[in-house]
Chains A and B, each alone.
Chain A
Amino acid sequence: MGGRAAQPNGMNGTSIAADDYLRLFEALSPLVGATSLDKLSRGATRLVADLLQAEACSIVLYDAKHRQLRLRAATHIPEADWASIRHDANEGLVGSVFRSRSDKALLLKSEAEFEERGVVLKERYGHPSCVIAPLRIDKRTRGVMNIAKRRTGTPFTQDDARLAEAACRVIAAGIKNAEDFEESVQVHDRLEEILESLHIGVVAFDQELRVTHVNQRFRELLLEPGARVRGRKLRKVLEPGLFYVCKRLIQDSIHRRAVKQERSVLLLGRGEMTLEITASPAQCAGDGQCDGLLMIEDVGQDEEVKRLREADSIKGGFLRTISHELRTPLTVIRGAIPLLKGCGGAVNDSSAKMLGKVEDLLRTNVNRLSGVVNTILDVVEIDNGSLRLNCCPVDLHGMMREEIERLSEAAARKNVRWAFGWGPDLPEVAVDRQRLGQALHELFDNAIKFSPPGAPINVRTYTDGETVSIWIGNYGEPIAKKKRDEIFEKFYQLDQSTTRETSGVGLGLYLARNVALLHRGSLDVIDGERGETVFLLKLPLGQPCAEC
């Protein structure tokens, strides 16, 4: 038999039996999903040796990091020795057979050998007693499987070689899986190590705002010693004031798919803290659901922060005082308006008419002033994180009509035409009536301000079963794409000139977007049809805002 080249399998001259493949894949399939390279290599060598009735089977892989060929498993070498059997690899070297620690008979020197021939049937002892099959991962030969028979064994056939080659394809896929997994575990461990050592508090959470991880610094900074937080909702973990600031940032960051940062002074259980809070969305699914990260740093000891904080608290306090101080005289003026009628001042029709006009003027302007005062106070509360919603189900169409009615004079001055497209069967939505009313007021007011005289303002509503959309479109000057987020910033004025036609303190849209976000909704500028600028307000259905 010696010397004779391998013949096609068996007496019948056909190729390998389908049964053999079936047995092979059945046996290998559980291994392919293995998450450990050791387990996979051990199992695969035993299986293949068994299948091909071979004396020995081994797997050698190239370790790129150490530039070494390493024995991963061998049926004929004690397991304790595997790890120590390795040697430096030269360029192009892909595999070798190790029979023992000392014997390093090199069988394959280059990838090219496989490129040409694929699996190799080697002769030793004067007959084919050795199969060397490539383990190809990502189109590169990463190593080999050696299968060998003893001197007296039956020679390998070409079919055996092909079977080994097929097995190696499956095993290579398994190796890749296991390596990827091991790498990801390593990366994960390393990341966790880094996370723990950071001098900034980090909390990771899932789509439902449940905590998946907090680091040591976060615990020191914000939690009671020994507090258990994993799996609990952020709302339960963070103190309310901090939670609302965080929630707003998170919603904003998810909404814009961008990192959002804010410095906030908060009165927490352990005293006043100045925190720099950064929210970042992590994995975002197509449906807009996002995991995310919060990074929280105590910046209270920074000199600059101390100065800013003083200035900030003076500013906040000033705004609050001034708003409160304005409320009392406003109450008096408002209260006095209906009394005008009772003064007996109107002695004839024309003076009665004039009195009516004066009354209207006073009323309109007091309302306008109250609106500004309320907006400023709300913004102070939004910035503090202390704005709470008070939600109940409302008829949105009714609310919108009311707000439009309140602006009827401004609309009439501009000769605005309202073009309504009320969505049928709009369900009731749970909202904070007052806040959403304010947001709608700002949006309608804004549409009127920027609408050309005589042009229509499109007001449409529709629902997709999950959200209600309110579409308010005007045909004014288009807003440049890059300004579409800026206009929602605090104190932003589109037109900075002193002769500007539009007025306002620059808080309306800031307030409107924050009200939308507090409702877990959104507010954006989009393009409508034929140059229409659309403010699109979306509110989620079926989840009353948290503060109900």
Chain B
Amino acid sequence: MGKKILVADDEDDVKVVVQLFLESKGFEIVTAYDGLDALDKARKERPDLILLDLMMPVVDGFEVCKKLKAHPETAAIPVVMISASAQAESKQRGLDAGAVDYIIKPFQPEALDTLIHKILD
């Protein structure tokens, strides 16, 4: 049974393509369409890793990450931030919020795969 990954992004196409790619690599994928949904799914599904888009409606990625880290049930789940902003400041904010890494769109799918393996293994 593959590891479970929660993909939270408000862009459906991104979600689909990441899901298809990671499923082809043997992961089990759960998706969330906004920040609140992401928090909800994280608690229910207990994924092994969360890919969290930074800009999402309702609750943004920074907030979601902080809330995940503040909750004992989800605090241990590694979070990788995904963002369209290459600004160093956003990256630092992401890491400060508790993310283990930060990748910038458009990323190479292979690089994402490598990163996930690095974190999970």
A binding-site residues for B, Cβ under 8 Å:
324, 327-339, 342, 366, 370, 374, 377-378, 381, 386, 388, 390
Q: Are A366 and B106 in contact (CB under 8 A)?
A: yes
B binding-site residues for A, Cβ under 8 Å:
11, 13-14, 16-18, 20-21, 24, 84-89, 105-110
24 A-B pairs with C-beta separation under 8 A? A324-B84, A327-B84, A327-B105, A327-B106, A328-B13, A328-B84, A328-B105, A329-B13, A332-B11, A332-B17, A333-B106, A334-B109, A335-B18, A335-B20, A335-B21, A336-B17, A336-B20, A338-B109, A338-B110, A339-B17, A339-B20, A339-B21, A381-B87, A386-B89
Q: Point out the residues of chain B lying under 8 angstroms from A331, CB to CB.
A: 14, 17, 105-107
Classify the interface of chain B: helix, strand, loop or mixed: helix
Classify the interface of chain A: helix, strand, loop or mixed: helix
User: A435 vs B49: C-alpha distance in the bound complex, in angstroms?
Assistant: 30
A405 to chain B, nearest CB (A): 15
Q: Are A386 and B20 in contact (CB under 8 A)?
A: no
Q: Are A388 and B88 in contact (CB under 8 A)?
A: yes
- Count of A-B residue pairs with CB < 8 Å: 57
Q: Are A334 and B84 in contact (CB under 8 A)?
A: no
B115 to chain A, nearest CB (A): 14
Q: Which 8 A-B pairs have the closest CB atoms?
A: A335-B17, A330-B106, A327-B84, A331-B106, A327-B105, A388-B88, A332-B13, A331-B105
Who on chain B is nearest to A320 by CB?
B85
Instruction: Evaluate whether A334 and B107 lie within 8 angstroms (CB atoms) in the complex, with A324-B84, A324-B85, A381-B87 already known.
Output: yes
B19 to chain A, nearest CB (A): 9
User: A331 vs B111: C-alpha distance in the bound complex, in angstroms?
Assistant: 12
Q: Point out the residues of chain A lying under 8 angstroms from B17, CB to CB.
A: 331-332, 335-336, 339
Q: Point out the residues of chain A lying under 8 angstroms from B87, CB to CB.
A: 381, 386
Q: Point out the residues of chain B lying under 8 angstroms from A378, CB to CB.
A: 86
Q: Point out the residues of chain A lying under 8 angstroms from B13, CB to CB.
A: 328-329, 332
Q: Are A390 and B88 in contact (CB under 8 A)?
A: yes
User: A338 vs B112: C-alpha distance in the bound complex, in angstroms?
Assistant: 12
Q: Which of B16, B85, B88, B110 has the most CB of A within 10 A?
A: B88
User: A330 vs B14: C-alpha distance in the bound complex, in angstroms?
Assistant: 9
Q: Point out the residues of chain A lying under 8 angstroms from B18, CB to CB.
A: 335
Q: Are B105 and A330 in contact (CB under 8 A)?
A: yes
Q: Are B109 and A342 in contact (CB under 8 A)?
A: no
User: A355 vs B62: C-alpha distance in the bound complex, in angstroms?
Assistant: 40
Q: Are A370 and B106 in contact (CB under 8 A)?
A: yes
Q: Are A335 and B14 in contact (CB under 8 A)?
A: yes
Instruction: Evaluate whether A335 and B109 lie within 8 angstroms (CB atoms) in the complex, with A374-B86, A388-B88 already known.
Output: yes
Contact of A342 among B16, B24, B89, B106 (CB under 8 A): B24
Q: Point out the residues of chain B lying under 8 angstroms from A335, CB to CB.
A: 14, 17-18, 20-21, 109
Q: Are B107 and A377 in contact (CB under 8 A)?
A: no
Q: Point out the residues of chain B lying under 8 angstroms from A386, CB to CB.
A: 87, 89
A333 to chain B, nearest CB (A): 8
Who on chain A is nearest to B11 by CB?
A328
User: A381 vs B90: C-alpha distance in the bound complex, in angstroms?
Assistant: 13
Who on chain B is nearest to A324 by CB?
B84
Who on chain A is nearest to B111 by CB?
A334
Who on chain A is nearest to B109 by CB?
A335
Q: Which of B18, B20, B24, B84 has the most CB of A within 10 A?
A: B84
User: A370 vs B89: C-alpha distance in the bound complex, in angstroms?
Assistant: 21
Who on chain B is nearest to A337 by CB?
B109
User: A43 vs B17: C-alpha distance in the bound complex, in angstroms?
Assistant: 92
A370 to chain B, nearest CB (A): 5
Instruction: Evaluate whether A339 and B24 lie within 8 angstroms (CB atoms) in the complex, with A327-B84, A386-B87, A388-B88 already known.
Output: yes
A496 to chain B, nearest CB (A): 31
Who on chain A is nearest to B55 by CB?
A324
B34 to chain A, nearest CB (A): 16
User: A366 vs B105: C-alpha distance in the bound complex, in angstroms?
Assistant: 12
Instruction: Evaluate whether A338 and B21 lie within 8 angstroms (CB atoms) in the complex, with A328-B105, A331-B105 already known.
Output: yes
A187 to chain B, nearest CB (A): 46
Q: Point out the residues of chain A lying under 8 angstroms from B85, CB to CB.
A: 324
Q: Point out the residues of chain A lying under 8 angstroms from B24, CB to CB.
A: 338-339, 342
Q: Point out the residues of chain A lying under 8 angstroms from B20, CB to CB.
A: 335-336, 339
User: A334 vs B11: C-alpha distance in the bound complex, in angstroms?
Assistant: 15
Q: Point out the residues of chain B lying under 8 angstroms from A332, CB to CB.
A: 11, 13-14, 16-17
A121 to chain B, nearest CB (A): 83
User: A356 vs B18: C-alpha distance in the bound complex, in angstroms?
Assistant: 21
A376 to chain B, nearest CB (A): 11
B46 to chain A, nearest CB (A): 25
Q: Point out the residues of chain A lying under 8 angstroms from B107, CB to CB.
A: 331, 334
A331 to chain B, nearest CB (A): 4
A410 to chain B, nearest CB (A): 19
With A327-B106, A328-B14 given, can you name 5 additional A-B contacts, CB distance below 8 Å? A324-B85, A337-B109, A338-B109, A338-B110, A339-B21
User: A386 vs B92: C-alpha distance in the bound complex, in angstroms?
Assistant: 14
User: A397 vs B108: C-alpha distance in the bound complex, in angstroms?
Assistant: 24
User: A381 vs B13: C-alpha distance in the bound complex, in angstroms?
Assistant: 28
A379 to chain B, nearest CB (A): 12
User: A330 vs B105: C-alpha distance in the bound complex, in angstroms?
Assistant: 8
Q: Point out the residues of chain B lying under 8 angstroms from A327, CB to CB.
A: 84, 105-106
B14 to chain A, nearest CB (A): 6
Q: Point out the residues of chain B lying under 8 angstroms from A337, CB to CB.
A: 109
